[in-house]
């Protein structure tokens, strides 16, 4: 039997990168997947990929920084599939690259709105639906920068630290009600945004050197950790933060 048979999941930011890899893996393991993103064409391609491999999926266009979009997303999920068991709050952006004294206020608001408030808005709607379903698992995508800093990315670092704190606080509130809430901290992952075309060979090499394993991670490697946290294999795990970073944080 597949690990997520008869489960229903939401994945935000699922049109590409870690979100796409996660959506495809959850579907492969039997979950019905609601693919959510602002990129409609790419999101619908992920749905087609899932359905062409025998899975069930639905695309819902949603902006994670808007509370009403999360409300619509959860409502459509429950209407279509009858329940909600798994939620992956993955959508995020990098934001401006400036020191704090020069960091644009609108850039700060945008990064916090998507990367932190978006996770809160998601859980705010997902948790009541999961309680109706008898419990569930929420995985929030933080970052290695959820526990350390880096120059020029104050908004991103603050938001990802906030995601870790939000995860821990919420996990305590719902641990006795069969909802597990955990966070993942990816290192630099090779995606459509981080690759030789976007950053150049030297840019990628400089990032690779930051990781003791000497390479970037793959989106599928992060998705495997998401799968474990979403499944009953991690039934006694909640309130935790799991780096998947090639040794970055061990330094």
Q: At what angle do helices 67-81 and 118-133 cross, to 10 degrees?
A: 30
pLDDT at 191: 87
| Domains, the chain, ordered by start | 8-191+219-246 (3.40.50.720)
pLDDT at 193: 78
Q: Which residue has the tokens 């893996």?
A: 25
At 3-46, the pLDDT tens digits run 999 999 999 999 999 999 999 999 999 999 999 999 999 999 99
Residue in 33, 28, 32 with CA at minimum distance from that of residue 11: 33
DSSP 8-class letter at 177: G
At 104-134, the pLDDT tens digits run 999 999 999 999 999 999 999 999 999 999 9
Residues noted as catalytic: 156
3-class secondary structure, 239:
coil
Buried b (16+ CB within 10 A) or exposed e, 3-17: bbeebbbbbbbbbbb
């Amino acid at each position: 039997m597949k690990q997520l048979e008869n489960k229903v999941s939401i994945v935000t930011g699922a049109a590409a990168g870690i979100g796409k890899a996660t959506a495809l893996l959850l579907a492969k393991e039997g979950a019905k997947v609601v693919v959510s993103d602002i990129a409609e064409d790419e999101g619908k391609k992920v749905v087609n990929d899932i359905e062409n491999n025998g899975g069930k999926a639905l695309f819902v266009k949603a902006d994670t920084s808007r509370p009403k979009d999360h409300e619509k997303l959860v409502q459509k999920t429950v209407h279509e599939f009858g329940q909600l068991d798994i939620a992956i709050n993955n959508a995020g952006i990098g934001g401006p690259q400036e020191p704090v004294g020069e960091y644009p206020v609108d850039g700060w608001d945008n990064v916090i709105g998507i990367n932190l408030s978006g996770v809160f808005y998601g859980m705010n709607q997902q948790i009541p639906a999961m309680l109706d379903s008898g419990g569930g698992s929420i995985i929030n995508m933080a970052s290695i920068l959820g526990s350390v800093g880096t120059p020029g990315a104050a908004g991103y670092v603050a938001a990802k630290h906030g995601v870790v704190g939000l995860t821990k606080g919420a996990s305590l509130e719902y641990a006795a009600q069969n909802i597990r809430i955990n966070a993942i901290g990816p290192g630099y992952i090779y995606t459509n945004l981080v690759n030789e075309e976007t950053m150049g060979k030297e840019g990628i090499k400089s990032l690779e050197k930051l990781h003791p394993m000497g390479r970037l991670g793959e989106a599928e490697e992060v998705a495997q950790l998401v799968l474990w946290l979403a499944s009953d294999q991690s039934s006694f795990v909640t309130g935790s933060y799991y780096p998947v970073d090639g040794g970055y944080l061990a330094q």
